[in-house]
Amino acid sequence: MRCQFCGYLESRVIDSRPTDEGTSIRRRRECMRCGRRFTTYEKIETTVVMVVKKDMRREPFSAEKIKNGLIHACQKRPVSMGDIDAIEEKVEQAIYGSGENEFSSRRIGELVMEELKKLDEVAYVRFASVYRQFTDVSSFMEELNKLVNENKQKAQEADNP
């Protein structure tokens, strides 16, 4: 690593510590020529994943967009920011973990809805109404009926193990 003070290429690591919840490493270094100390950060270089939109446009994946959608869906609901961050992180890990360079916005929406359904059904329906672009009350009711039927089935399975 090049010394920021004298430009010498050799330095020694004095201390290393994980930062940003383990996503990067902070290193204290000492220049082998001038003896001055400086800090560097080492971070994993992530590949760019492109999101393929419904109209076939492509744009770089943004976890921030997922988080904003989750915040709107969970407004005035008993859902903590920790829960929102956990969903965002799960979805982001699924996307990068897939190893694919392109990911459809539809798949991303489905991943988010799957996690929201487990957490808060009202937030799930809010997110689904925007994501699926319900055009009328009947399509909205159809989604609600699916949710009610799933809950009834789960209750029956719990009663009859």
Average pLDDT on 110-117 reads 92
Phi, psi of 100 (to 5 degrees): -90, 150
Whose structure tokens read 């869906």?
73
Q: What are 39's two structure tokens? A: 């800090």
Residue 55 lies in a domain: yes
Helix (H) or strand (E) holding 91: helix 81-97
In 10 A of CB 110, how many CB atoms?
Answer: 13
Q: Look at residue 59 and tell me if it is in a domain.
A: yes
| Inside any domain, residue 2 | no
Q: Are residues 22 and 101 in the same domain?
A: no
Whether 1 maps to a domain, the answer reads no
The phi-psi region of residue 52 (left if phi > 0; otherwise alpha if psi is between -120 and 50; otherwise beta) is beta
* Least confident interval from 6-10, 29-33, 37-41, 139-143: 139-143
Q: What is the total count of domains within the chain?
A: 2
Residues ≥6 apart with Cβ < 8 Å to 157? none
Residues 39 and 54 in one domain: no
Cβ proximity of 73 and 126 under 8 Å: yes
Provide the domain limits for residue 105. 50-159
Mean pLDDT, all residues of the chain: 88
pLDDT given at position 91? 93
Q: Quick one: 27 and 87 in the same domain?
A: no
Rounded Cα distance between 68 and 86, Å, is 13
Inside any domain, residue 4: no
Same domain, 35 and 59: no
pLDDT for position 74: 94
Residues 54 and 98 in one domain: yes
Is residue 90 pLDDT above 80, yes or no?
yes
The closest alpha carbon to 28, from 18, 41, 13, belongs to 13
**Kind of pairing, strands 50-52 and 102-104?**
parallel
| Over residues 35-64, mean pLDDT | 90
For residue 87, pLDDT over 80 is answered with yes
Predicted TM-score (pTM) of the model is: 0.63
- The predicted model gives 131-157 an average pLDDT of 77
Spatial contact of 115 and 73, defined as CB atoms under 8 Å apart = no
Distance, CA of 120 to CA of 2 (rounded, Å): 51
What pLDDT was estimated at residue 161? 66
